[in-house]
Amino acid sequence: MSTPITLDDYRAAQARVQPYIRQTPLVNAHPWVPGGGTQVRFKAECQQVTGSFKARGAFNRVLNLSEEVRRQGLATASGGNFGAAVAYVGKTLGLPANVFVMNTSTLITRTRIESHGARLTVHGDFWDQSWDAAGASVAQQGGALLHPYADRDVVIGQGTTALEIIDEWPEVETLVVSIGGGGLIAGVAQAAKLLKPSIRIIGVEAAGCPTLFTCREQGRIVKLENVKTLVPILAARSTEPLNFELIERYVDEIVLVDESTIKDAARAAWEHAGLGIELGAATALAAVTEFCFEHRDDEKMAVVLCGSGCDGMSAP
């Protein structure tokens, strides 16, 4: 990482994006989350503009671009949520946006993207294939190519989630965060540790796509060839140096969640807390409900529910 990221960088991003996003609530989950007297709260990023935390990073990235570059347009590749965020940024700031999504992207995310006036292109079975197509488009037509997770400004913007949690709940001891490409947890982990060094960061992956778990196990960035997961929003087959460096330094533990438990967690969030969350968010929740890591009965934990969805609203 060429230029070190500081707490001042995160605070500046917090001020920069504040006019455009919501300060999402911390919802008290007790007593329905199992774990005895554990104090669990949900950071409801499922209620963020465009339905996920991604708006934080997208706004911080675009607002740091020069006006000349912005006006040429925005382009990205996304499993859905970052694409919706970039589309919303484009609509809000009056900029054209071109979003590439995978064949596995959901109808709801495609609808969100198009509802904000972005051009939608469906290409590839995996995110990296969509990314290559987005890059080729920018090479031909110009504009700013926005990476959804391996970008300094995006990581910093998404780390503002942690600042809100700790500012509101200074006593929090542990943050539980889902991992896809690593952009959310990289920013959240560093921002949280810079603000409160004693805090513990638990990263969570679906067992069918153990990307960062494998990277940490092998001590290097790897690319998974065989990915089979019910959570396409987390199905990044690899990560990038920026994210891996921050995760290695600031994330205390990475755990895997059995795929069969994730939909149950989404359903429980809806039935018990009235929160409609996507399976990516439910993965973090399942790590708590399925006791995937050790914690005290009275431990104060915040679970980042990273995005919205209707996965828990249907019958079993």
209-256 residue pLDDT tens: 999 999 999 999 999 888 888 887 777 778 999 999 999 999 999 999
Q: Which CATH number fits the domain 7-53+152-305, given the four candidates 3.40.920.10, 3.30.530.20, 3.40.50.1100, 3.90.76.10?
A: 3.40.50.1100
d(CA 300, CA 228): 33
pLDDT at 249: 97
285 with 268: CB under 8 angstroms? yes
State both tokens at 155: 């990581």
Task: Say which residue the tokens 């970008």 belong to.
Answer: 151
Question: How does DSSP classify residue 52?
Answer: B
pLDDT at 1: 53
Half-sphere exposure of 231 (CA within 13 A, CB side): 36
Virtual torsion, Cα 171, 173, 179, 182, nearest 10 deg: 80
- The pTM of this model reads 0.93
Q: Which CATH number fits the domain 55-146, given the four candidates 3.40.50.1100, 3.30.300.30, 1.10.357.10, 1.10.10.10?
A: 3.40.50.1100
Element (H, E) at 301: strand 300-305
pLDDT at 290: 93
The residues, ordered by sequence, that sit 6+ positions from 259 with a Cβ below 8 Å of its Cβ are: 206, 207, 208, 229, 230, 231
Provide the H-helix boundaries in the chain: 7-17, 54-63, 67-71, 81-93, 107-115, 127-141, 152-168, 183-195, 211-218, 241-250, 262-273, 279-289
pLDDT at 147: 94
Question: How does DSSP classify residue 182?
Answer: S
Q: Do domains 7-53+152-305 and 55-146 have the same CATH topology?
A: yes
Q: What is the pLDDT of residues 48-104, one digit of tens each?
A: 999 999 999 999 999 999 999 999 999 999 878 899 999 999 999 999 999 999 888
Q: What is the pLDDT of residues 257-276, one digit of tens each?
A: 999 999 999 999 999 999 99
State both tokens at 168: 């509101």
Residue spans per domain, the chain: 7-53+152-305, 55-146
Q: What is the mean pLDDT of the chain?
A: 92
d(CA 316, CA 311): 10
